[in-house]
Structure 1
Amino acid sequence: MNNKDKYRELCKVEPMIPIFSKDWWLDAVAGEENWDVVLIEKGDDIVASLPYVIKKKFFLRYISMPKLTQTAGIWMKYPDGQKYANKISFEREVCKEIIEKLPSVDAFSQNFHYSFTNWLPFYWEGFNQTTFYTYILENLKDHQKLFTQFKENIRREIRKAEKKVKVYNSDSIEDFFLMVKKTFDRQNQPIPYDLELLRKIDAACTKEKCRKIFFAADEGNQVHSAIFIIWDSQSAYYLMGGGDPELRNSGATSLLMWEAIKFSSTVTANFNFEGSMIQSIERFFSAFGAIQKPYFHISKTNSAVIKIHTAWKELLK
């Protein structure tokens, strides 16, 4: 049994592996032949894993994030009752072994889950780190408490939208993609993924019973907004959304977020907005009273060609 086969078996029984690192997710977003995994084994147990996607451009091979995938990075199985001092030693050992087992590539670039906090072993091996942020709502069961933690403008938008639109669920990925397209068209930007990828993700998540699409429409059946959420045993995730630019002021997106949060409380523990470094999006997510969580983007460039190209771009700024 090779590493991928072992990892597929692990994913079936290990609930703490995030959805973005699951084998079936990687099959959908990267293709079955385009990803692999580093495993650390102690006896018969797998104690750590790092799945990765290898991409090729010209003569370069590099590890990077697949589209619509927030995080990858390391999953670790800590020994029961482990002391903190031993925990740090365990992390050092595991990270060192994983780095040694990574394939030889021209560049490495991955976002690690926010639960991974000790990147020092990567630093010692010449990797770089940039801090990103996501926003997490915890303890989803108390809806009243959650609602009172929202900023007043969010609560006001939700109340306004409740009078204007109805919320419903639909399996039409084409209708959802149309709303996404409207959002990017308004910004005069290309959509960073296509309908075919979205269909693959939707099919995989539908099979695993871990996705829901929310729409908001008015009495005239005009769709104001739509959002797509997924979930695992630990959290739900706002994966993507879109809206009609001519109906942006209805408050429908805030209402859909609220409905998605309430639904998520029935299937998992937390709600992850997935964060953004774009100021306006960050402001919207943080207004829901979610906790800011840092997560690491870890990278390393081995190729002299990429190093020269990067330095040249910096020089021209």
Structure 2
Amino acid sequence: MSDLEKYRLFSEHEKTIPLFSKGWWMDAVCPDEWNVILIEENERINAALPYYLKQEIGLKAIQKAPLTQNQKVWIRFPEEQKYEKKLSYEMKMLNAVIEKIEQMNLTKYQQYLHYSLTNWLPFFWKGYSQTTRYTYVIYDTSNMEQLYNNLNSNVRKLIRKAKKLVQVKENLSIGEFFDLNRMTFERHNMAIPYSFEIVSRIDQQCKERNARKILYCVDENDKIHAAAYFVWDEESVYYLMSGSVPEFRHSQSLTLLLYEGIKLAHKLGKKFDFEGSMKKNIEHHFRQFGAMQVPYHNIFKEF
């Protein structure tokens, strides 16, 4: 059995592997262009890191996969380790992963690593560089009254405004959603950075696993104002994509849909991950929902 086949089976059932590091997710976003580093002992996987490999003439690079927030260096830690022992073991596994990266004859390496990894020293010691990125996470969604009170007063005002103008519905078709999503990029004179085929594969894979919901807002004339696409794994609901009709942005439908996403996380008993943004206006909006700022590493190296 190949490493890919092993990992597909392993990640399907290992609950501590996040959504964006699942084998089926990688099959959806970059089929035939991904692989995995496995560190094994006695046929047991002790560490794993999936990666998107881009190969062109003169280029062999590990880079961020489309629509994939970050990826996890998954490590199987021995039980009941003291902190020093656990950190030493983590160093050992990270060094083993880096050694395999170094053997791949890459021209460039870049990955955003899941925020569960706080220690990037082994990468630093091997000549890699790092910048910090941020997401916003609501860790505890159990108390909706408290969550609502934690919202910035401006966000509460925008939600009340939206509720007077639109109602929230479910299950927009993926084609209609993609058209709305594309409008968001076109409004900024940008081409959408992923294809309908990728979004369609994600949708199919998530539907099969009951791991997605499309919510959208319509007004009294049945005009769609905005839509949001949420996905989830065993621990978190993620705000993956959204789109809005430019002429209806005043209705604040996306603010309402984000709040509905938090309510979805509450219903499912999961964290809510805004997926972050380094853009100032988006970061400011996410922060107003009372979420915690969470850093994660962008690790990179040119060879």
The TM-score bracket by the shorter chain reads over 0.9
Give the structure 2 partner of residue 58 of structure 1.
57
Encode CA deviations 1:286-306: one digit per residue, 9 max, x unaligned: 11000000000001100xxxx
Task: Give the partner amino acid of 1:281.
Answer: I
Give the structure 2 partner of residue 306 of structure 1.
none
SS of structure 2 residue aligned to 1:130: strand
* Superposition deviation, residue 5 in structure 1: 1.6
CA–CA separation in structure 1 for the residues paired with 2:172 and 2:190: 26
Give the structure 2 partner of residue 270 of structure 1.
271
Give the structure 2 partner of residue 86 of structure 1.
85
Task: Give the partner amino acid of 1:16.
Answer: T
Q: Which residues of 2 match residues 224-243 of structure 1 at below 5 A?
A: 224-243=225-244
Encode CA deviations 1:114-156: one digit per residue, 9 max, x unaligned: 1100100010111110100000011112101001001011101
CA–CA separation in structure 1 for the residues paired with 2:53 and 2:94: 19
* Superposition deviation, residue 82 in structure 1: 1.1
Task: Give the partner amino acid of 2:291.
Answer: A
Are 1:20 and 1:71, in contact at CA under 8 Å, matched by a contact in 2?
A: yes
Q: Which residues of 2 match residues 22-61 of structure 1 at below 5 A?
A: 22-31=22-31, 33-61=32-60
State the number of aligned residues.
301
Task: Give the partner amino acid of 1:82.
Answer: Q
SS of structure 2 residue aligned to 1:9: helix
Q: Which residues of 2 match residues 65-80 of structure 1 at below 5 A?
A: 65-80=64-79
- TM-score, normalization: structure 2? 0.97
Q: Which residues of 2 match residues 142-291 of structure 1 at below 5 A?
A: 142-291=143-292
Task: Give the partner amino acid of 1:226.
Answer: A
CA–CA separation in structure 2 for the residues paired with 1:96 and 1:40: 10
SS of structure 2 residue aligned to 1:266: helix
* Superposition deviation, residue 18 in structure 1: 0.6
* Superposition deviation, residue 94 in structure 1: 0.2
CA–CA separation in structure 2 for the residues paired with 1:99 and 1:60: 19
CA–CA separation in structure 2 for the residues paired with 1:283 and 1:235: 21
Task: Give the partner amino acid of 2:295.
Answer: P
* Superposition deviation, residue 13 in structure 1: 2.0
SS of structure 1 residue aligned to 2:78: coil
SS of structure 2 residue aligned to 1:265: helix
Moved over 2 A (4+): 42-45
State which drifts further: 281-290 or 71-80: 71-80
Task: Give the partner amino acid of 1:36.
Answer: N
CA–CA separation in structure 1 for the residues paired with 2:172 and 2:186: 23
Coordinate RMSD, CA, aligned:
1.1
SS of structure 1 residue aligned to 2:268: coil
Give the structure 1 partner of residue 19 of structure 2.
19
Are 1:233 and 1:268, in contact at CA under 8 Å, matched by a contact in 2?
A: no
Are 1:141 and 1:265, in contact at CA under 8 Å, matched by a contact in 2?
A: yes
Give the structure 1 partner of residue 118 of structure 2.
117
SS of structure 1 residue aligned to 2:267: coil
Give the structure 1 partner of residue 99 of structure 2.
100
State which drifts further: 122-131 or 44-53: 44-53
* Superposition deviation, residue 44 in structure 1: 3.8
Task: Give the partner amino acid of 1:288.
Answer: F
Are 1:140 and 1:265, in contact at CA under 8 Å, matched by a contact in 2?
A: yes
CA–CA separation in structure 2 for the residues paired with 1:47 and 1:239: 29
Task: Give the partner amino acid of 2:9.
Answer: E
Encode CA deviations 1:26-52: one digit per residue, 9 max, x unaligned: 001000x21111111233421110111
Q: Give structure 2 stretches of 5+ with no counterpart.
A: none
Task: Give the partner amino acid of 1:12.
Answer: E
* Superposition deviation, residue 266 in structure 1: 2.4
* Superposition deviation, residue 263 in structure 1: 1.2
Are 1:231 and 1:268, in contact at CA under 8 Å, matched by a contact in 2?
A: no
Task: Give the partner amino acid of 2:91.
Answer: R
Task: Give the partner amino acid of 1:83.
Answer: K
Encode CA deviations 1:167-217: one digit per residue, 9 max, x unaligned: 011140111112112222221111111212111111111112101001001
Q: Percent identity?
A: 42
Are 2:183 and 2:244, in contact at CA under 8 Å, matched by a contact in 1?
A: yes
Cα 1:268–1:127, aligned 2, differ >3 Å: closer, same or farther? farther
Task: Give the partner amino acid of 1:67.
Answer: P
- TM-score, normalization: structure 1? 0.93
